[in-house]
Each structure stands twice: as C-alpha cells, then as structure tokens.
Amino acid sequence: MKRVHLLTPGFTSPNGCAFLMPLYKFRRAIKDNGIDLHFYNDINNELTDCDILCLDSKFFKSMWGKDHDGTLATIAALAEKTKLIWFHQSDSTGTILPPVLPYVHKYLQAQLLKDKAQYKQTHYASRIVGDYYHTKYGITDDEPYMEHVVENDSDLDKMGVSWNSGLMNYGWASPYLMRLLEKAPLTPFMQFSKTVTSPDAPRPHDLTCRMGIPYSRATMRYQREQMREILKDRLPTDKLSRAKYLGEIAKSKICVSPFGLGEITLKDFECFLRGSMLLKPDMSHMDTWPNFFEKDASYLSHNWDLDDVQEKIEWALSHDKERTAIARAGQSRYIQHTISKDAPGLFAKHFSKLMSV
C-alpha cells in the first residue's frame, strides 16, 4: 500500500471544492487501487512520513506575496524528505509557477496546453487567450502581468493534467454546499447532482447565454463583451436568479459559454446536466481530464475571433439530430465521471497513474 499525504487549506474556493471533492468521495476506490490517502492542513512532523506528498498550491497562495524566497525554501525542505507532487489550482492553462518545478517530481494542473513548449514563452496577461486578443486586436490591461517561463525541457516533462473543476455538485444547491464544505467537510455534503434533464426534452428556447463580466482585466473581459454585442438582438444576457438561470438552460437548445478567467467555466457543467448543447470557443489547444470537451463531438466549437458564432448557432438550430447528439455526448461523458457506477473506479485509476513516480 502506497502512503500518500495531501497538504491543503481545504474547501476554501470553488476550484478547491472541485479539487478535493473526488478525493474524499472516491477515497475507498482510491484505497482499493493501493493508495492510502491522508489529508493535512498544516506542516508538522508527520507530514513527510509518506511515499508521496501532494501539495495543493492554494495552501501557499498567501505565502508567496509575503515571502517568496521563504516559501520556496519551505518547499525545498519538504522535497529533501519525500517525493513531491504539485497540484496547481489555476482557472486557465496559464499562470504557472516555474520556480516550483525543480523541487517536484510532477507538476499537475486541471488544464494544460497541448504544446508544452508554449510554457517556454511569455504570454500577455499570463494566458494564451489574453495574448491572442492583445496581439490580434491590441487589447491591453491596466496592469499587464507577464508570466514566468519554464527554462528547462526536463521541467516541461514533469507537467501533466490532474482533473478539472467538473467533479463537483452543479445542481441548484451547489453554492450552499460549497459554503457548508468550507465549514464542515463531511461526506453527506459531497454529492454530485443527480438532477439531469434529457437532451430530448422539449426546449422552447433557441439559446441561452447568461453571464457576468466582472473581470478587471480588459483581455479577460473582451470575449464576453463581444459575445454580448453579437447576441444583443437575439436574447438578454444579464444574470438571473439561480433557479431561473438553471431552468432556462434546461429549456434551451443551445447554451453559449464563453471563456472566463480560464477556458473552462462552471456553466459548462451546468449545461451538461441540463442537456443543452454547449457552444464554446475552440478548446483544442488544451488537455484536461475528464475529457468532457471533444471538439464538435461533445460541444460545438467556434473561433476565438467570434466571426462564425452566428453561423454555428444557425447550423445547430437547423440540424436537430446533430445538435441533440452533441448534447447527449456531453451529458453522457459528464454522468459517466460523476454519478455512474463506474465513476469511482475511473477517478481512482486516473489518480493512481498520477501517483506513479
């Protein structure tokens, strides 16, 4: 039996909840795969008494700004005592922390650029998407952040995919469950939503695209602002109450879901559960697990410059059979990894591979 420890601050954010929930919920299946998993929320003498120590990047979030060198020294000290795997909690394929790479055996995040050589280059706003809009349209941020780059190819080899934010409850009660988990991480609160609407259900609305645009960076706002402009004559895009919002998705043929701070958004999973066809910017530049996002198979893609959005909408509305098949594929993949009888084994197998160092 391999003993694995995880240092984490707990259920402190939506990303944190989605990262931790499958580890708790599928813990028995993980043990059946030969891994004895234990959770820690502080650095103590027992922490490194293990075969592998996993580090949740959120644990170090506040430490970096206060004492960068001291934080790195802490990680280096842990690396002298056991093998380290870094789990980077990021919204996007960017915003990585290259200084950590020399001290860890693996550096894992929820979504990763397929072309890992891109991490040897700087990207405006620390994201490949922000860099695209900056380069193509001259969009600039008031305080542009340029990410650090990976210098050694050997460090690129350490980079891999953990699991994305889909493995959380995205039902009506999701926001309340997240608050409960933050205060009391109890198993009864760790349930995936079982409320599923068939893609074949009656859908009187052609499409839905409810969204906020809260981002301070212009490069992050740009895509949503342009999408709102494109759709302004077709439908309202302002936010609704949660019940009305989810109900609208369940009654819509198409759910338009632009990028947010990252490529994947929580709306994607709310869409899968409610059987609407997901329309998103092309995501073929990235890897993630589970692979919910297969271009034009489990979601319908459009270009990042948005020049084909109207065309894709009209195609989907005039091809009922194909649109429903895409919606069904997205929903099927989501169910398979959350509420199906195979879900625990699928996650445990993936986690076991990640722990092979």
223-244 pLDDT, tens digit each: 999 999 999 999 999 999 999 9
pLDDT for residue 147 is more than 80: no
**In whole angstroms, what is the distance from residue 73 CA to residue 52 CA?**
19
Number of folded domains that form the chain: 2
What residues contact 143, with CB distance under 8 A and at least 6 apart? none
pLDDT at 173: 85
- If asked whether residues 161 and 12 sit together in one domain, one would say yes
What integer best gives the mean pLDDT of the chain?
94
What residues contact 161, with CB distance under 8 A and at least 6 apart? 108, 109, 110, 111, 112, 287, 288, 289
Averaged pLDDT for residues 110-126: 94
- If asked whether residues 236 and 317 sit together in one domain, one would say yes
- If asked whether residues 80 and 199 sit together in one domain, one would say no
pLDDT at 94: 86
**In whole angstroms, what is the distance from residue 22 CA to residue 167 CA?**
6
pLDDT at 143: 82
Averaged pLDDT for residues 167-192: 85
**In whole angstroms, what is the distance from residue 309 CA to residue 137 CA?**
18
- If asked whether residues 12 and 87 sit together in one domain, one would say yes
Give 214's pLDDT tier (boundaries 50, 70, 90): confident
Amino acid at 10: G
User: In the 8-state DSSP scheme, what is residue 276?
Assistant: P
Of 88-97, 102-111, 220-229, 300-309, the least confident = 88-97
Judge whether 109 and 86 are in contact, CB under 8 Å.
no
pLDDT in tens, 11-56: 988 888 999 999 999 999 999 999 999 999 999 999 999 999 999 9
Averaged pLDDT for residues 307-317: 98
Provide the domain limits for residue 15. Answer: 2-165+341-354
- If asked whether residues 313 and 349 sit together in one domain, one would say no
Judge whether 93 and 132 are in contact, CB under 8 Å.
no
User: At how many degrees (to 10) do helices 14-25 and 174-183 cross?
Assistant: 80
pLDDT for residue 178 is more than 80: yes
- If asked whether residues 159 and 180 sit together in one domain, one would say no
Q: Minimal CA–CA distance to 16: which of 110, 94, 85?
A: 110
- If asked whether residues 153 and 195 sit together in one domain, one would say no
Distance from first CA to last CA of the chain, Å, rounded? 14
- If asked whether residues 231 and 107 sit together in one domain, one would say no
pLDDT at 287: 97
pLDDT at 51: 98
pLDDT for residue 198 is more than 80: yes
- If asked whether residues 135 and 196 sit together in one domain, one would say no
pLDDT at 91: 86
pTM (two decimals) = 0.94
Judge whether 85 and 104 are in contact, CB under 8 Å.
yes
What residues contact 125, with CB distance under 8 A and at least 6 apart? 131, 134, 141, 144, 145, 217, 219, 220
pLDDT for residue 114 is more than 90: yes
Averaged pLDDT for residues 204-223: 94
- If asked whether residues 199 and 325 sit together in one domain, one would say yes
- If asked whether residues 93 and 132 sit together in one domain, one would say yes
| 15 φ/ψ sector (left φ>0, alpha ψ -120 to 50, else beta) | alpha
From the DSSP assignment, how many helices (H) and strands (E) are in the chain?
Answer: 13, 12
Judge whether 276 and 250 are in contact, CB under 8 Å.
yes
| HSE-up (13 A, CA, CB side) for residue 350 | 21
- If asked whether residues 203 and 129 sit together in one domain, one would say no
Q: Minimal CA–CA distance to 13: which of 111, 112, 91, 107?
A: 91
